[in-house]
Amino acid sequence: MRTVTATAAAVTAALAAGAASVAAGRLASDAALKAAPGRPLPTEPRLTVHGTAAGQITLTRDLAALRPGRYGLAGDGSHAVVGPVLGTAEHDADTVVRRLERVTHGTLAAGDRAWFTPNLYVGNPGTALDLEYADVEVPGELGPLPAWFLPGSRPTWIIAVHGLGATREHAMNFMAPLRRRHVPVLALAYRGDVGAPPSPDGLHHFGETEWRDLDAAVRYALDHGARQVVLLGWSTGATMALRTAALSGVRERIAGLVLDSPVLSWETTLRALATARRTPGALLPLAVRAAQGRAGLHADSDVHTGGLYRPAVPTLIFHGPDDVVAPWRLSRRLADTHPRLVALHTVEGAPHGAMWNADPDHYEEILRRFMTPLV
């Protein structure tokens, strides 16, 4: 009898431990599957504001605070734009002084916590950039998708789609230079975004289902005067662009792809985000399996062997080795495998989804050269 009791207790303990592990894996997968639009990814550190002065801001010394380029600095209820580290300013061992270009809204005081974001602009193209635009609705399979449309005389439209932790405001970084070249721009909000229909299961799918919203935007553009389109995507938005170019029924009208920090392995990205949430290494495989089960995701091997990441049109990739969310080596492999169609522009020092921020002028020149024969 004692043996039976002991065995039952051991089985019960094992089942409890297994259930706890499954629950932990599910919780770890939330880092990616429930990433909130407009909120920082867990890989993005919170920095403490130590003070501000005329044209400068002092932040906690951190690798993030030392990044090259221009960024938004977001807090709870505040947004500012910061420029490069000021080499002439007085620093100490624990702080970094950067140029403070403007405070968009709210205030930044000593002790506030804030994080870097690629978004230099908030609001809409009218209020933020003083650009003519229209609020339009793209008919999507789940319902109307809000989008901003900036008119232009070119027959080729750019359709911009954001990625993890971002919103369509990300596209405003590019709107002014594209407007100067008379290129129409459609910036899309898709399922799960504010104002758009929710995903049926409330989860992100790393582009596996979201690409159909981008496909709807392509069809909208063609129905409203575009002769062809170029898809510009960041992060999982880049994944959506690749899938749309491979699967859309109107893919012959897609003239090119511009991919910034593309997520080419959702399993690797999920592991990175879960690790940033301090998930123990032993639970990472459970997080991957939980994501597959909850969101119905295909294994990475299925995606690559299926040819979804084999561009059939000219493709420009901006990516760099400092991206800890989506590995740069996968973009390099894609470019090496398809050298006639894919050009990789390596960006040093930039975090995920922020290749433009590290060196805007150079980025825009590379983009201009790529776009010239397409528009």
Per-residue pLDDT tens over the stretch 99-131: 999 999 999 999 999 999 999 999 999 999 999
pLDDT for 16 equals 38
How many secondary structure helices (H) and strands (E) does the chain include?
11, 14
The secondary structure of 244-273, three-state, reads HHHHCCCHHHEEEEEEECCCCCHHHHHHHH
pLDDT (average), residues 19-23: 49
What sign does the dihedral 296-290-274-303 (CA atoms) show? negative
Q: Check residue 17 and give its pLDDT.
A: 38
Co-location of 93 and 196 in the same domain: no
Give the pLDDT confidence score for residue 24 in this predicted structure. Answer: 55
Residue 334: inside a domain? yes
CB 274 within 8 A of CB 28: yes
Task: Name residues whose C-beta falls within 8 Å of residue 326's C-beta, 6 or more positions apart in sequence.
Answer: 235, 261, 262, 263, 264, 265, 268, 269, 272, 319, 352
Q: What is the CA radius of gyration of the chain?
A: 22
What pLDDT, in 10s, does the model give residues 229-239? 999 999 999 99
Dist CA 86 CA 83 (whole Å): 9
Is 78 in a helix, a strand, or coil? strand
* Domain end call among 83, 117, 151: 117
Residue 162 lies in a domain: yes
pLDDT value for 88: 78
Tell me if 160 is assigned to some domain.
yes
Among the listed residues 176, 187, 175, the one whose alpha carbon sits nearest the alpha carbon of residue 146: 187
DSSP 324: S
Per-residue CA distances from 185 to 111, 163, 227 (Å):
39, 17, 13
Mean pLDDT value of segment 213-222:
98
Residue 15 is predicted with a pLDDT of 36
Cβ–Cβ contacts within 10 Å for residue 21, how many?
A: 13
Give the strand pairing for 134-140 and 71-75.
unpaired
User: Is there a single domain that holds both residue 231 and residue 148?
Assistant: yes
For the chain, give percent helix, strand, coil, nearest 5. Answer: 35, 25, 40
* pLDDT bucket at 288, cuts 50 / 70 / 90: confident
Taking residues 44-62, report their average pLDDT: 93
Q: Of 246, 41, 280, which Cα lies nearest the Cα of 162?
A: 41
Residue 202 lies in a domain: yes
> Which segments within the chain are labelled E, that is strand?
47-53, 56-60, 71-75, 78-85, 95-105, 113-117, 134-140, 143-150, 156-161, 185-188, 228-234, 254-260, 315-319, 342-346
Residue 274 is assigned to a structural domain of this protein: no
Residue 1 in domain:
no
Q: How far apart are CA 45 and CA 85, in angstroms?
A: 17
pLDDT for 1:
54
- Looking at 182-234, list the stretches that DSSP marks H as alpha helix, in order from N- to C-terminal side: 211-223
pLDDT exceeds 70 at position 19: no
pLDDT at 303: 60
pLDDT score for 293: 84
- Using one digit for the tens of pLDDT, what is the confidence trace for 141-185? 999 999 999 999 999 999 999 999 999 999 999 999 999 999 999
Q: Is the per-residue pLDDT at 13 higher than 60?
A: no
Whether residues 215 and 176 share a domain: the answer is yes
Do 318 and 359 share a domain, yes or no?
A: yes
Give the pLDDT of residue 14: 36
Looking at the fold, whether 256 and 211 belong to one and the same domain comes out as yes
How far is CA 139 from each of CA 4, 145, 197, 214, 250, rounded to the nearest angstrom? Answer: 62, 6, 11, 11, 16
List strands edge to edge, sheet with 134-140: 134-140, 143-150, 185-188, 156-161, 228-234, 254-260, 315-319, 342-346
- Of 243-252, 281-290, 321-330, the one with minimum mean pLDDT is 281-290
| Domain stop point among 95, 117, 139 | 117
Check whether 26 has a pLDDT greater than 70: no
The pLDDT, as a whole number, for residue 22 is: 53
Q: In 10 A of CB 246, how many CB atoms?
A: 17
The count of domains in the chain is: 2
pLDDT in tens, 291-317: 888 888 887 765 665 567 788 899 999
CA distance 297 to 340: 30
Domain that holds residue 247: 125-265+300-372
Higher pLDDT, 258 or 374: 258
